[in-house]
Amino acid sequence: MNEKVFRDPVHNYIHVNNQVIYDLINSKEFQRLRRIKQVPTTVFTFHGAEHSRFSHCLGVYEIARRVTEIFDAKYSDIWNPDESLLTMVAALLHDIGHGAYSHTFERLFETDHEAYTRDIITSPETEINAILVKVAPDFPEKVASVINHTYPNKQVVQLISSQIDCDRMDYLLRDSYYTAAHYGQFDLTRILRVIRPVENGIAFSRNGMHAVEDYIVSRFQMYMQVYFHPASRAMEVLLQNLLKRAKLLFKTQPEFFEKYSPHLLPFFKNDFALADYLALDDGVMNTYFQSWMTSEDDILADLASRFINRKVFKSVTFDQASEKELHHLIDRVAAVGFDPDYYTGIHINFDLPYDVYRPDVHNPRTQIEIIQKDGSLAELSTLSPIVTALTGSNYGDRRLYFPKEMLQVDDLFTADKEIFLSYISNEHFEYNK
């Protein structure tokens, strides 16, 4: 086929010169990703973050294409060029199963985007599957196994999922660009120059170690400054409570939801299929939320209005020792008149920036290996004091969210509010304006 290009703000040009890749991009399941935001509630804090899973998946594909092009040309003695198409397809499709407001939606309706990724790839009902089986009858299963980390060639798996993979490299650069938070910037060109296939995975030349080190620090900073931002998490709590209220109300007011949110009915009934899942996207959900603002249920209407109009919950941080004191705050919120089931929420976010391989833990990490001058491999944290400081430690916080009204001195200021304010000023909690 003639080469096709997609102009991209992160990679400049994304090159497509394989018909299979081009056909996959044009499938209806992949085009749906245009309607799924990459960081859906982050956009309420960083207004430029309107980018989609579609653009991210194209970016991951482009990095995988560049890597396999280098491996094909320079390392055919240890890299099998027959694996290149598989690697690029897995990179392109790794997020194909993400749904509308995916992580929040998943927690409430017990869906699993990873399981849906496999279903979309392997189900005879999808255009994606019809394209893949033309490559080989077992090709869909191979692609799914790479994404599920069960494919036997660890070189391929680590390019798609490891502590430094094509997925993470694209989303850090892309999210950094669209949020205008430059913490996520690192030297991708240098990393691509020093990446190498090794016997049981991928590694990096010693002379490129500082580029890898910079990538680890960039990832840490993005989590602390962007992904864990309190306002973005506040909107996630609000969304969770809004959907929880709708799910409850459906039991007694099905006619309202049949009229205003028909594509959610299978999820309220807990009887949904792949086609139902694919019928939802962020735009559909937002339209439903706007219609819920007219509900006769005051809580549903109010929560929907708060979400659509960005009326952000406030929060205090607490530690494990202080968790037993949270009921004092929640009781005061209830006393003022807010139902705490829908107007409070606990949100806990922690991330492990980097870790060595620990076979005894659940989901052990694949450590980053650096190739020494003598050809031996050394784990990154043994060489980098900066990475050593980040290794094996979780960073983040615990927050209790509540309505902003609890802080406002107005006609509704009560003794309960005063008690609430005294509690968030004591040693158990920390409130940051």
On whether both 132 and 194 belong to a single domain, the answer is yes
Write the pLDDT tens digit of every residue in 87-130.
999 999 999 999 999 888 998 898 999 999 999 999 999 999 99
Q: Which has the minimum average pLDDT: 222-231, 253-262, 301-310, 414-423? A: 414-423
Mean pLDDT of the chain: 95
pLDDT at 357: 82
Task: In whole angstroms, give the CA distance from residue 329 to residue 416.
Answer: 9
- Is 252 a member of any domain? yes
pLDDT score of 305 more than 80: yes
User: Residue 433: which pLDDT band, with cuts at 50, 70 and 90?
Assistant: low
pTM, full prediction: 0.95
Mean pLDDT of 346-364: 88
Distance, CA of 70 to CA of 384 (rounded, Å) = 26
Which pLDDT value is given to residue 411? Answer: 67
Residue 432's CATH number: 3.30.70
CATH number for the domain harbouring residue 180: 1.10.3210.10
pLDDT above 90 (res 424):
no
Q: Which residue carries 């999210």 as its tokens?
A: 175
From the list 130, 98, 125, 127, the residue with the least C-alpha distance to 111 is 98
Give the 3-state DSSP-derived string for the chain, with helices as H, strands as E and coil as C. Answer: CCCEEEEECCCEEEEECCHHHHHHHCCHHHHHHHHCECCCCHHHCCCCCCCEHHHHHHHHHHHHHHHHHHHHHHCCCCCCHHHHHHHHHHHHHCCCCCCCCHHHHHHHHCCCHHHHHHHHHHCCCCHHHHHHHCCCCCHHHHHHHHHCCCCCCHHHHHHHCCCCCHHHHHHHHHHHHHHCCHHHCCCHHHHHHHEEEECCEEEEEHHHHHHHHHHHHHHHHHHHHHHCCHHHHHHHHHHHHHHHHHHHHCCCCHHHHHHHCHHHHHHHCCCCCHHHHHCCCHHHHHHHHHHHCCCCCHHHHHHHHHHHCCCCCEEEEECHHHHHHHHHHHHHHHHHCCCHHHHCEEEEEEECCECCCCCCCCCCCCCCEEECCCCCEEEHHHCCHHHHHHECCCEEEEEEEECHHHHCCCCCCCHHHHHHHHHHCCCCEECCC
Indicate whether 98 and 43 sit together in one domain. Answer: yes
Report d(CA 86, CA 182) in Å as an integer.
32
Domain match, 201 and 237 both: no
Of the ranges 218-222, 346-350, 354-358, which one carries the lowest mean pLDDT score? 354-358
* Distance separating alpha carbons of residues 20 and 26, to the nearest angstrom: 10
Check residue 54 and give its pLDDT: 98
- The boundaries of the domain holding residue 190 are 4-228
Residue 381 is predicted with a pLDDT of 96
Band (268; pLDDT cuts 50, 70, 90): very high
Predicted local distance difference test score (pLDDT) of residue 243:
97
> Is the residue at 193 inside a domain?
yes
Q: Verify that 93 and 201 share a domain, yes or no.
A: yes
**Residue that finishes a domain, picked among 228, 251, 277:** 228
- The confidence band for 16, taking pLDDT boundaries of 50, 70 and 90, is very high
At which residue do the structure tokens 């060029």 appear? 81
**Pair 218, 275 in one domain:** no
pLDDT tier at 61, thresholds 50, 70, 90: very high
| Same domain flag for 346 and 356 | yes
Contact 339, 299 (CB under 8 A): yes
Indicate whether 347 and 257 sit together in one domain.
no
CB 272 within 8 A of CB 262: no
Contacts 24+ apart (CB under 8 A), 338-343: 338/402, 338/403, 338/405, 339/299, 341/241, 341/244, 342/241, 342/244, 342/245, 342/299, 342/303, 343/241, 343/313, 343/402, 343/403
Q: Which of 228, 257, 274 is the last residue of a domain?
A: 228
Residue 404's pLDDT is: 94
Residues 15 and 120 occupy one common structural domain: yes
- Rounded Cα distance between 109 and 244, Å, is 9
C-alpha–C-alpha distance, residues 220 and 214, integer Å? 10
Asked if the model's pLDDT at residue 368 lies above 90, the reply is yes
Percent of the chain residues past pLDDT 70, beyond the cut: 99
CA atoms of 173 and 226, how far apart (whole Å): 13
- pLDDT at position 49 is 96
372 in a structural domain: no
Domain holding 242: CATH number? Answer: 1.20.1250.30
Write down which residue in 257, 279, 307 finishes a domain: 307
Q: Is pLDDT at 302 greater than 80 in this prediction?
A: yes
Please check whether residue 373 lies inside any domain of the structure: no
- Whether 376 maps to a domain, the answer reads no
d(CA 237, CA 346): 8
Instruction: Assess whether pLDDT exceeds 90 at residue 428.
Output: no
Please check the confidence at residue 361 and state whether its pLDDT lies above 80. Answer: no
253 and 221 both lie in a single domain: no
- State the greatest distance between any 2 C-alpha atoms of the chain, in Å, as a whole number: 76
Flag whether 267 is in a domain.
yes
> Residue 37 domain-assigned?
yes
User: Residues 153, 79: contact at Cβ < 8 Å?
Assistant: no
In a domain, 375, yes or no: no
Same structural domain, 165 and 24 = yes
Whether residue 241 sits in one domain with residue 178 = no
Q: What is the number of structural domains in the chain?
A: 3
pLDDT score for 360: 78
Residues 40, 166 within the same domain = yes
